[in-house]
A and B are shown apart, each in its own frame.
Chain A
Amino acid sequence: MKTVSVVLRAGLRDLSRNPWIGTYAAAFFLVTEGLFWFGGTGPQVVLSVLNVVLLVVPLVSVVFGVIHVYASREFVELLLAQPVSRTRLFLGLYLGLVIPLAGAFIAGTAVPFALHLRAGASLGVVIALLVCGVSLSLVFGGIATWIALRTDDRLKGVGLAIGAWLLATIVYDGVVLAVAAAFSAWPLERPMLAMMMANPVDLGRVVVLTQLDAAALMGYTGAVFTRAFGSVPGLAVASVVLMLWCAAPLALAARRFKLRDF
């Protein structure tokens, strides 16, 4: 694992000095702190920040990720010419991308909550919010890496990344609502649960909702999920599926990295 740690350290050093990562952390800090500033209570702030997280974290992770992987192409070739294993090199590169993204999100979001401990947000809810953001960073960082390794055309890659984000965050909920409306006479709870598990953004939402007990505020699938599973089992199932979602694009990207020509 020496290769992984060496390449990871270099990635962390590079992206920790990247101004966009600093801006990303600062943006979450300003949003969260601003919501407290305007008088929000803990749960209200969590819900508001959750809406931002569900849109912004996938977008930044997938677009920044795909651009970063393309920009690293020649450097990756140089690293591959060293006596290293492809799989270990890939892991180091992937972690060097997603850890700074997740770290910037945590720093920007956790600090305001720590500064406003008396605002009423429980530790469990805040942790669920952070787990949601970190998971989405891992999932969409993996998707970005996979897209950039699949497509040599950079413009097409960025387009696919934005398409993946649109699909997961906006189009998908519309499809779910359309299905619900079209088949309203049928028992839809199980299909809805399956559809929710097929989208990491919905899953991330449920991880937080099961802690907040505010499912009805956050869309049809969230309400169905919480009602079906209850709070604790729902969180466990959502967490397991979310972990699978983190692993799936990573596995696809790792396989692509191992087999592709550079």
Chain B
Amino acid sequence: MIAFSHIRKRYGARDVLTGVSLDVRPGTVTGLVGPNGSGKTTLIKILLGLSRADAGAVWCDGSMVDGEGDYRRAIGYMPQIARFPDNLCVRDIIELMRALRPGADVDDELIAAFGLHTEFDKTLGALSGGTRQKVNAVIAFLFRPQIVVLDEPTAGLDPVASRALKDKIARVRDEGRTVLITSHILAELEELADDIAFLCDGSLQFAGSVDALLAQTRETGLEAAIASLLRTRASVRPSRDVEHDVATTANATCALQTAGA
């Protein structure tokens, strides 16, 4: 359903993605993990057409991602940062999104689950970051998209809303729809993800099921398995980079462990 083929992306002198190829199985939850700056968000943005790959191709729902936006009818997106025009109400934003997708089937389950009805006539500038994030989540699922892309979805959500969102993700997967999710909270991915794609320094280090990852690393938990991948990667890289590797790996492992703690 989603296929990335040899994706390369460079920002200035920095290679952000260095030939990433990844197939996301339809009807699964795929967790996209990696240290900060590993290229997760860039990969998602290329899928959404927000950024353009320097090389490679992306297929989504059978059609190649190009400059046209029609393929995005199949996609719901929840960005990491929830910012809206301060003077619009929640109702205005929902109506705007509905107007941009006329005729789409509407799923307002999350509005009820988050208790957002009471906030509908409040301006977004007056809402807390967590409530704005709930609005983001509602928009991502609002049109029953076949593909849901979630960038750090539970960051900023209270435990009740976080639970409601995770339940929704599980239901969407059970309906046969595809979810691509980035998160630093590995316990969350352990609970939700069927597959894991692990990016580091712009290249794909692992792609497969969670069980395959645990078997390959001989670990019992996702966090330990990811740390094991990072250690393995540091040990096989050229000796001239050893000093740099140790620092990078230590930072990356630290970032993952801290975020996952």
Residues of A within 8 A of B (CB): 2-3, 6-7, 10-11, 13-18, 71-75, 77-86, 261-262
Question: How long is the Cα–Cα vector from A3 to B51 in the complex, in angstroms?
Answer: 21
CB pair A80–B50 under 8 Å, yes or no, is yes
A14 contacts which of B68, B71, B85, B136 (Cβ < 8 Å)? B85
Q: Please name all residues of chain A whose beta carbon is closer than 8 Å to the beta carbon of B72 when the two chains form the complex.
A: 81-84
B87 contacts which of A7, A15, A84, A262 (Cβ < 8 Å)? A15
Q: Please name all residues of chain A whose beta carbon is closer than 8 Å to the beta carbon of B230 when the two chains form the complex.
A: none
Per DSSP, chain A at the interface is helix
A74 contacts which of B79, B97, B100, B123 (Cβ < 8 Å)? B79
CB pair B88–A81 under 8 Å, yes or no, is no
Question: How long is the Cα–Cα vector from A85 to B79 in the complex, in angstroms?
Answer: 19
B70 within 8 A of A: yes
Name which residue of chain B comes closest to A262, CB basis.
Answer: B50
How does the 8 Å CB contact mask read for B221-257 relative to A, with 1 for contact and 0 for none?
A: 0000000000000000000000000000000000000
Q: A13-B92, A18-B87 are in contact. Are A78 and B45 (CB under 8 A)?
A: no
Q: Please name all residues of chain A whose beta carbon is closer than 8 Å to the beta carbon of B96 when the two chains form the complex.
A: 6-7, 10
CB pair B48–A80 under 8 Å, yes or no, is yes
Q: Please name all residues of chain B whose beta carbon is closer than 8 Å to the beta carbon of A16 when the two chains form the complex.
A: 87
CB pair B75–A72 under 8 Å, yes or no, is no
Q: Please name all residues of chain A whose beta carbon is closer than 8 Å to the beta carbon of B101 when the two chains form the complex.
A: 82-83
Q: Please name all residues of chain B whose beta carbon is closer than 8 Å to the beta carbon of A17 when the two chains form the complex.
A: 87, 123
B84 within 8 A of A: yes
B88 contacts which of A2, A6, A13 (Cβ < 8 Å)? A13
Name which residue of chain B comes closest to A80, CB basis.
Answer: B50
B27 within 8 A of A: no
Q: How many whole Å from A106's CB to the nearest CB in chain B?
A: 20
18 contacts between A and B (CB under 8 A): A2-B99, A6-B99, A14-B86, A14-B87, A17-B123, A74-B79, A75-B83, A77-B79, A80-B48, A80-B50, A81-B72, A81-B149, A82-B100, A83-B69, A85-B68, A85-B69, A261-B50, A262-B51
Q: How many whole Å from B124's CB to the nearest CB in chain A?
A: 9
Question: How long is the Cα–Cα vector from A104 to B36 in the complex, in angstroms?
Answer: 44
Q: Please name all residues of chain B whose beta carbon is closer than 8 Å to the beta carbon of A2 when the two chains form the complex.
A: 99, 102
B100 contacts which of A13, A18, A83, A262 (Cβ < 8 Å)? A83
Q: How many whole Å from B11's CB to the nearest CB in chain A?
A: 8
Q: Please name all residues of chain A whose beta carbon is closer than 8 Å to the beta carbon of B83 when the two chains form the complex.
A: 71, 73-75
Name which residue of chain B comes closest to A10, CB basis.
Answer: B96
A77 contacts which of B50, B68, B123, B139 (Cβ < 8 Å)? B50
How does the 8 Å CB contact mask read for B146-174 relative to A, with 1 for contact and 0 for none?
A: 00010000000000000000000000000
CB pair A83–B73 under 8 Å, yes or no, is yes
Q: How many whole Å from B244's CB to the nearest CB in chain A?
A: 27
Q: Please name all residues of chain B whose beta carbon is closer than 8 Å to the beta carbon of A74 when the two chains form the complex.
A: 79, 81-83
Q: How many whole Å from B167's CB to the nearest CB in chain A?
A: 23
Q: Please name all residues of chain A whose beta carbon is closer than 8 Å to the beta carbon of B73 when the two chains form the complex.
A: 83
B134 within 8 A of A: no
Q: A75-B85, A83-B73 are in contact. Are A3 and B79 (CB under 8 A)?
A: no
Question: How long is the Cα–Cα vector from A16 to B50 in the complex, in angstroms?
Answer: 29
B4 within 8 A of A: no
Q: In this complex, which of A7, A74, A85, A86 has the most chain B Cβ atoms within 10 angstroms of its Cβ?
A: A74
Q: In this complex, which of B100, B123, B139 has the most chain A Cβ atoms within 10 angstroms of its Cβ?
A: B100
B52 within 8 A of A: yes
B77 within 8 A of A: yes
CB pair A75–B49 under 8 Å, yes or no, is no
